[in-house]
Structures are given as structure tokens and as C-alpha cells.
Structure 1
Amino acid sequence: MKGIKSRFAIFSACLLLLAGCQNQGSTLPIALLDFIALDYVISLDPDRSAVYFSSVRSVGMEVAYEFGAAPEDGFISTSPSLPVWEVTRRNVQNIFDDRGYTVSVSVPSGNPGDMEEIPSQGKSLWSAADLAALASTYRKKKSDFQNANFFVAFVKGRMANSNVVAITISGVFNLGAPAVFVFKDAINAFPLQYRKSAEQSTVVHELGHAFGLVNNGIPLASGHQDSSHGAHCTNIKCTMYYSIQLGNFNPQNPLVFGDECIRDVRNFRP
């Protein structure tokens, strides 16, 4: 089926703030002291691409949704049988294949109790600080050097001054592992027959950014970054393309990362 270009762009922001410390009693240059302090802090941080693709052996996610913004559930396809959240599981598993060790991946099944319903937040517009505050309030799990845990929240409304479908935030807000936010009103604007696949492709896209794609922690193995759209892929069939192509999803083969992005991951050996 020919791809139908969405009027919404997928937007992801990894907001980073790097700060060092000074020691007035040392004879080392301040700039060098800052670098040493920063390197020490980074080495203690498990939420970065170099850790995800070296010592991590399990990847999980907790999903929360605002009242009235529940994720799609059920099946994307019954022939073959493809539960909605199996799309995310298979694609994250594919990211960690062929590394010479096993990484277990767990995602919600879509059943009640697998996700947390949170109270209505009463917002039609969200700022990055608003989203970070929501994650800080409802996130329960943290990452360590063996286990990476991501927070995915579905909210009503939209990002202020933007029609983006979803956003990934970390860094300056001290969230730990990146947190993904999906704007359910934007998903609901898609034609009904595309909503489940579009929503799952969006979640996978944002997790791709959280892991370090495109050139956002995982170095490029080839020249496929769409620099005009930031950390996105030039391959229109890849889920890391900057906008959703509604007709691209194939339930017979639900792996949505393009060959170029998979090659980046396979070549990344920190």
C-alpha cells in the first residue's frame, strides 16, 4: 500500500545539560577539572547509549495514561495474530539482537493492570517542564547498569506551539532514563484503520531516540541522518523518519527500523 504522509511530524527532544565542578585548591586548570568531574558523573550514569549496548541485559517499560487517553489495545492484525504491544516488543528486541549476548525485553500486554491510569491533568497544552513534572510524579522504576527502564506516558492535549505526535525528554530535568510522551489527541486525528499501527510506530520511534538514534548517542555507520530534521533518518520507510507514513506498516513484518538504523546499532560496540 502506498504510504500516506501524516500532517503531523514526530518530534523528539533530548534536552541535555552538562555541568562540571571546580576545586579552588587544585593546581590543575579549571577547564580540565570540569572535564574530569563531568567524566566521573557520566561514568556513574546508567542512562546512556554506551550502557544500554554494553552491560544492560534487560529492557522494560512502565506505561501510564491520563484518564481518557488510554493506548490502543487488542490486535493490529488477526491474520497473522499480532497484539498491539507486540510491535514494540519485537522492534526493541530487534535492536538488541546479534550482540553475542541475550537481552530480555518486556512490554505491557495491553491488559488491565499492565499500565497505570493516572488522573486527568486538565491540560490542553503541555510544556517540556509540565511533562517532566508528570514523569517525576508517576514514574516508579529506575535504570541501573544491568536493567534499563523507560517511562511511556499517554496524555491528552498537545505540545505547546507544535503539532507533534510525541516527544522524548531527558537531561536537564533530571529524569534519569528518557521519558516518552504520546499525545493521544494527535493519534486520534489519524484515520481509524491506521491508529493502532501509527501509535505503535510512534512509541518505537521515540524509544529509538531514547536508545540513541539517529546519531544521538549511537554513531552513524552510514550517511543517513536527516540533519534538517535533527536526529531523524533519511529513509522514508524507516520509523526514524521525521513524519509518520501511515501506509508503510506491514503486519507480516512488523519490524519498522530501517536497515541504516539497524546497521548503526549493530556496529555500535562501546
Structure 2
Amino acid sequence: MKISRITPYFTFFLSLLLLASCSKDESTQADPTVANKQALGSSARDFLSADAFTSLRVEIAYVAGFKPSATTLNNLRSFFAERLNKPDGITFIETVVPATTVGSLERDEYVKIEADNRTAFNAGDELAVWIFFADQSSEKDDATSRILGTAYRNTSCIIFEKTLRDFSNRIGGASLTQLETVTTEHEFGHLFGLVNLGTPMVRDHEDEQPNDDGIDALNKHCDQENCLMYFQTVADATSSAMTGLPTFGAFCLEDLRANGGK
């Protein structure tokens, strides 16, 4: 058994063998959404601390019929409350996105879906984040690997809900809530700057895995096997054998707290 190579922190690949940015135009106004179109990990401290943002607005976007379970959303609320310093509160809003018709989704397509449908953006001392639960799989899926979720900007991520449901519906598959919770929280770990992705490491614990050339390379995951940010944790969540939901390990918690989190 093997997990397919993780490309640098943008996506999480699951091996089926496991179950399987001229001149200035003075008339043009600044884009009010630009603060939410930055590099992955660049808003890590904004999430974790109350330095710049004292509240968080979480936009849960989904295609009708692909809404995450109520238990998953409750787990996510608890996850945020436990780790983020947001004294003015954390608000969840929901946005129903039209069904996609392009088949499997590539980055340009889900970025456009976000551009067409996102309503929550940073405003004053409120930070906003977009999570899209898609009705399609990733176009990078192939015969040996599947992508379950991707954090792709500072306040954006996609969860391939159709893929999660495919795994859950298999004989011996994990519960959908387990898959949704572990995948979503893992991707938020990347938004929070883990590992070594906007949140500095207090001590070295970034994992190495072979790259395309078979050479060990750092991959923005944790080298502690009991951690939510370990590269294989999301893959393990596809199995009904997982007992309990994984959490951040001691080294990742140390990093989060040093960068303003709880």
C-alpha cells in the first residue's frame, strides 16, 4: 500500500490502493475582494489571532444535495472555537451554488465558481473564508489517486464532496461525517499556515516524501503520525477502522499558539 505523492501543499492526493498575478488607470477603483485573493498561508495569523480581525465569517457554499452534514458543521464550529482567538464571534452563512455542468473540476473552474458566488469578504475587523462543497470530483483524479480537498488561496478551499460520498458509499467505507470533518479540518490546517506555510515552526517537524524524481522533499505536512496534518491522515479517514477524529499534534499546536492561536 502507498499514498501517492503530495504535491506542495495545494492538494491532498489519496491512493486508491488504500481503498482503494502596467500602468495605472486612475479611473479604476481598487478591488474590494483583493485581500481574499492572496497566497495560501498568508492569512494564517489573521485566522489565529485577534490582532487584525476579532471575528470570523464562514461561508459554507454547496450545490443542492451536497450540503455537509449538520454534525460536520457543528464539529467545524467547535474546531474554530477551540483554536482561534475571535472574541467577537464566529458566524456561519450558507450559499447554494448552481450545479456544475463541466464534469470534473480544474482550478480555473472552481476559482470562477468562487468569483461568481462568494458573498463574504473581509470587512473591518471581520475575516471571511469560503468553503465550497462541490458536486464534482477533481480533474486531477486518475486511476490511482483521488483528491479529497484543496486549500488554494489565503481564505479559500474546496472540498470534493462527490468524492467523499463515493468513498463513504463503498462497502466498509467510513461515515460521511468522518470524511467531511477530517478533510475540512485538515485543509483549514493549511489555511492556518501549517506546516511551515505562513505559521513558523517552533521546532522542525515538516515531513518529507518522495517527489516526482523520487527525491525526498518537504511537503507542508507534519511528520508526526498522530497529527491531523500528517500526510496520510485524510487517507486514513476513508476507512471505517479509524476510531475518533484526529486532532493537531503537539508540534502543530505549539506552532499555532506561537502565531496567535489558542
TM-score scaled by structure 2?
0.70
State the Cα distance separating 1:220 from its structure 2 match. Answer: 0.6
Alpha-carbon contact 2:8-2:219 (below 8 Å) kept:
no
Query: Which amino acid in 2 is paired with 1:188?
Result: R
User: 1:107-134 deviations in whole A, cap 9, x for unaligned?
Assistant: 4xxxxxx522222111322111111100
User: 1:200-255 deviations in whole A, cap 9, x for unaligned?
Assistant: 111111112112111110001122111436221122222212231224452xxx57
Report the secondary structure of 1:226's partner residue: strand
Alpha-carbon contact 1:10-1:242 (below 8 Å) kept:
no
State the Cα distance separating 1:165 from its structure 2 match. Answer: 0.2
The corresponding residue for 1:91 is 79
With over 3 angstroms needed to count, the CA separation of the structure-2 counterparts of 1:216 and 1:141, relative to structure 1, is: same
The corresponding residue for 1:51 is 46
**Aligned counterparts of 2:167 and 2:204: Cα–Cα separation in 1:** 31
State the Cα distance separating 1:49 from its structure 2 match. Answer: 2.4
Alpha-carbon contact 2:164-2:176 (below 8 Å) kept:
yes
Alpha-carbon contact 1:48-1:211 (below 8 Å) kept:
yes
The corresponding residue for 1:136 is 115
Query: Which amino acid in 2 is paired with 1:138?
Result: N
Task: Count residues with an aligned counterpart.
Answer: 215
With over 3 angstroms needed to count, the CA separation of the structure-2 counterparts of 1:68 and 1:124, relative to structure 1, is: farther
Structure number, greater radius of gyration = 1
With over 3 angstroms needed to count, the CA separation of the structure-2 counterparts of 1:188 and 1:153, relative to structure 1, is: same
State the Cα distance separating 1:157 from its structure 2 match. Answer: 2.2
Aligned ranges 1:73-92 → 2 under 5 Å: 73=70, 83-92=71-80
State the Cα distance separating 1:10 from its structure 2 match. Answer: 10
Aligned ranges 1:1-270 → 2 under 5 Å: 12-13=9-10, 48-52=43-47, 53=49, 54-73=51-70, 83-96=71-84, 102=87, 104-107=89-92, 114-144=93-123, 146-162=125-141, 163-170=146-153, 177-191=154-168, 193-228=174-209, 230-243=219-232, 244=234, 245-246=236-237, 247-248=241-242, 250=244, 256-269=247-260
**Aligned counterparts of 2:5 and 2:110: Cα–Cα separation in 1:** 19
TM-score scaled by structure 1?
0.68
Report the secondary structure of 2:158's partner residue: strand
State the Cα distance separating 1:50 from its structure 2 match. Answer: 3.6
**Aligned counterparts of 2:137 and 2:69: Cα–Cα separation in 1:** 18
Query: Which amino acid in 1 is paired with 2:111?
Result: A
Alpha-carbon contact 1:237-1:258 (below 8 Å) kept:
yes
**Aligned counterparts of 1:186 and 1:8: Cα–Cα separation in 2:** 19
Identical columns (%): 19
Alpha-carbon contact 2:189-2:229 (below 8 Å) kept:
yes
Report the secondary structure of 2:90's partner residue: strand
Query: Which amino acid in 2 is paired with 1:70?
Result: K
Structure 1 segments of 4+ aligned residues over 6 angstroms from their partners = 5-11
Alpha-carbon contact 1:56-1:103 (below 8 Å) kept:
no
What's the RMSD between the two structures over aligned residues? 3.3
Query: Which amino acid in 2 is paired with 1:118?
Result: V
**Aligned counterparts of 1:211 and 1:92: Cα–Cα separation in 2:** 11
Higher mean Cα deviation, 49-58 or 152-161? 49-58
